[in-house]
Structure 1
Amino acid sequence: MRRLLLKIFPGMREFSSAEDLRSDSDNGAYNLAVRRAVASYRHFANFKRDKDYNKILEHVSEQDGREYLKILQDRNDGIFNGARKTLLRSDAIGNPRKYDYGTGAPLSPTTLRYLKVASDLKILFGDLSGTRIAEIGCGYGGQALVCDTLFKTREYVIFDLPDVTRLAAKYLESFLLNGCYVPRTLNAATPEPYDLVISNYAFSELPRAVQ
């Protein structure tokens, strides 16, 4: 019914930016889903299953999750085993779709993707402990949590839409972190040095002026 109303009454959509500055995720419906999760514990408890939210995030398929797991197992670099006892508890937040991959407890394919990206970072850049990382397009903070857990980063700066950074803060505050996180928007940040800047698709979704 909500999606039908949005089609009939497009004025019900919520945007963060002027039309020529909007990213692909700033589509109106996604922002509303994020705001519901921030404002209501009932929605936050299940936000990873919200269909409007899933158009942008938390839509990794069961099969893709299986491929990510296979890569992690083949690499045997300690990323998956290092995350099993602590990090995979994050799947209890937001009620994501989980599947049985034969590793014990069901796993979220999105979390497996975050782990695979962490494995890529370890291969490319080595030891990231004590580093300062910025991520453009933080989603709900899943990659930030992975890097904090596995690498014990000193500071993780998350750039996204204003409401999205609020959701990420709510999510990350559900855990005790090793380092700290800093939520930012583009206009609220001054140029400063980072050890590493990453973006998992989000940079490519931005209009050229914002890039």
Structure 2
Amino acid sequence: MGAQPQVNELWKYIGENEVNEERIGDLADFKRSQVNYRLTCFDVRTNGVRYLKTLVYNLAGQLSADDWERLRRITGRELGQPYSVTYDGEQVCLDYLRAVRDLEFIGKNVELDGARVLEIGAGYGRTCHTLMSNQDIASYTIIDLPTTMALSRKYLRTVLSEEQFGKVTFIPIDELETAPLGDGFDLAINIDSLAEMDRGTFGYYMALIAGRCRFFYTNNPVGKYMDKSLDDHARGDDALARALDAGPLTEVIDVHDNRAVRGQARKFVDAYRPGSGWSCVADAWAAPFTWYWQALFQAPAAAR
């Protein structure tokens, strides 16, 4: 049979310090302990980037050929050192994976070449960057907080060509009432921010979209959650209370129960419909986050 198996120094240390009868205890929560993290999975408390990269890698493997083409057209997306993986020779991060899939969803039902686009809450500008890189957008207007807009203006000035950047208009919210919005927009976009606004502000933007836009695309959470295991409520009780009270959908659900999410999705479609007569052209789960939904609405015929 040969030499008897020996315990190497690594597992000798693990056995003495991390996986032994004393550490195992009564099994009540061992799958959330160092015991199991040594045996079957990486410690979720210290391996967030590892899990993020694993997620991105798996999502990259699911991209369609058309989405790969969309992604390759977006130059400069590595600015800012995002957490990326290399897949088929291409650097891929979660933000732009999500952006090309948003574009795919929108493009199935909206003619984007020549479109006038309005985005409410642009973050650092990834959606604008993606649309401008893939479509012949006529104009792109961003409404946002002045503080956030300082970042998107700087980012987009860097990653877009001079011609593309010249099509982008930035309107701080404190100038919105007096800003010239022209004859309206073909498409309004909101990704992951209407759900963080108070109800009065949410209603204001819904009225703006209903009165000035032909289509509206939204990608937002279907509801709230109280699962402390996700982040240990690290930002404190006050931040939690503010989050639970914001947006049009404040019901607390199990966001990792697909039936609960799908059940809430009907309420999502009703809540984000800009106005009477607006039809929901398409809606679906907005992967990869379990509790996000996306929907595209079209204005009544008389308003087109």
Q: TM-score range by the shorter chain?
A: 0.5 to 0.7
- Pair 1:80-2:68 in alignment: yes
Amino acid at match of 2:201: V
What's the offset of the Cα at 1:186? 2.6
- Pair 1:94-2:80 in alignment: yes
- Pair 1:141-2:114 in alignment: no
Change (3 A) 1:63 1:205: farther
After superposition, residues 178-197 of structure 1 pair within 5 angstroms as 178=164, 180-190=167-177, 193-197=184-188
Aligned residue number for residue 170 of structure 1: 154
Aligned residue number for residue 189 of structure 2: 198
Do the aligned residues in 1 keep the contact of 2:146 with 2:173 (CA within 8 Å)? no
Percent of matched pairs sharing the same residue: 21
Deviation above 4 Å: which 4+ runs of structure 1?
A: none
After superposition, residues 102-113 of structure 1 pair within 5 angstroms as 102-113=87-98
* SS of equivalent to 2:201: coil
More helix by share: 1
* SS of equivalent to 1:182: strand
Q: What are the superposed Cα offsets for residues 37-60 of structure 1, whole Å, 9 maximum, x if unpaired? A: xxxxxxxxxxxxxxxxxxxxxxx9
Do the aligned residues in 2 keep the contact of 1:72 with 1:119 (CA within 8 Å)? no
Change (3 A) 1:116 1:210: same
More strand by share: 2
Do the aligned residues in 2 keep the contact of 1:68 with 1:116 (CA within 8 Å)? no
188-197 or 143-152, which deviates more:
188-197
Change (3 A) 1:68 1:115: farther
Measure the CA separation in 1 of the matches of 2:104 and 2:55: 16
Measure the CA separation in 1 of the matches of 2:194 and 2:58: 24
Change (3 A) 1:187 1:110: same
Q: What are the superposed Cα offsets for residues 173-203 of structure 1, whole Å, 9 maximum, x if unpaired? A: 1120536111112331246511111101211
Which stretches in structure 2 are left out of the alignment for 5+ residues?
1-50, 203-304
* SS of equivalent to 1:156: strand
What's the offset of the Cα at 1:67? 5.5
Aligned residue number for residue 62 of structure 1: 53
Measure the CA separation in 1 of the matches of 2:62 and 2:107: 14
TM-score computed with the length of structure 1 as normaliser: 0.61
Do the aligned residues in 2 keep the contact of 1:157 with 1:183 (CA within 8 Å)? yes
Amino acid at match of 1:166: A
Do the aligned residues in 2 keep the contact of 1:132 with 1:196 (CA within 8 Å)? yes
174-183 or 200-209, which deviates more:
174-183
What's the offset of the Cα at 1:94? 1.0
What's the offset of the Cα at 1:92? 2.7
Which stretches in structure 1 are left out of the alignment for 5+ residues?
1-59
Measure the CA separation in 2 of the matches of 1:167 and 1:96: 15
What's the offset of the Cα at 1:133? 0.6
* SS of equivalent to 1:189: helix
Give the alignment's Cα RMSD to 1 decimal.
Answer: 2.2
Measure the CA separation in 2 of the matches of 1:120 and 1:163: 30
Q: What are the superposed Cα offsets for residues 119-151 of structure 1, whole Å, 9 maximum, x if unpaired? A: 1111132x2011111111100111001001111
Do the aligned residues in 2 keep the contact of 1:79 with 1:150 (CA within 8 Å)? no
Measure the CA separation in 1 of the matches of 2:55 and 2:143: 26
Higher relative contact order (Cα pairs below 8 Å, separated by 6+ residues): 1
Aligned residue number for residue 120 of structure 1: 105
Change (3 A) 1:121 1:71: farther
